[in-house]
Amino acid sequence: MAGLRFIVEQIREIEAGRLTRLEQHPEQANHAMILLLARIIGIGIQTADMLVHEILSRHLHYRNAVARYGGLTGAPDESGAHGPFSPRA
C-alpha cells in the first residue's frame, strides 16, 4: 500500500505542476487550446494536454490525414483489402 500511496502522490504532484504551468502562461497557443478542451464535459486537463500535444499540434493538411493518424483509414499506398475494418482472412 505504501507504493500505491507514493504513486498517487507523484500523480498529484504532476497534475498540480501542469495546472500551475497552464495558469502562469495562459497566453501561449497550446495552453489556450488545453484550457478550452478541458471545459468540455468528460475531458480533464490531462486528456486535453495529451490531445493538444499528440494530435492538435500536428499540421495535418486534410481530413484524410487526421483519419489516418487516428488509425481509421490506411495510407494512400495501401490497398483497400487490409484496412482496419476489413475482415481478416
C-alpha–C-alpha distance, residues 21 and 23, integer Å: 6
CA-closest candidate to residue 30, choices 12, 7, 9, 56: 56
Give residue limits of the domains in the chain. Answer: 2-72
- pLDDT, position 83: 55
Per-residue pLDDT of the chain (89 residues; tens, 9 = 90+): 888 999 999 989 988 888 888 888 777 778 888 888 888 888 888 888 888 887 777 776 777 777 777 777 777 666 555 555 555 55
CA-closest candidate to residue 69, choices 50, 56, 88, 82: 56
- pLDDT, position 40: 87
Do 80 and 86 form a contact (C-beta atoms < 8 A)? Answer: yes
Exposure string for 36-56, b = 16+ CB within 10 A, e = fewer: ebbeeeeeeeeebbebbeeee
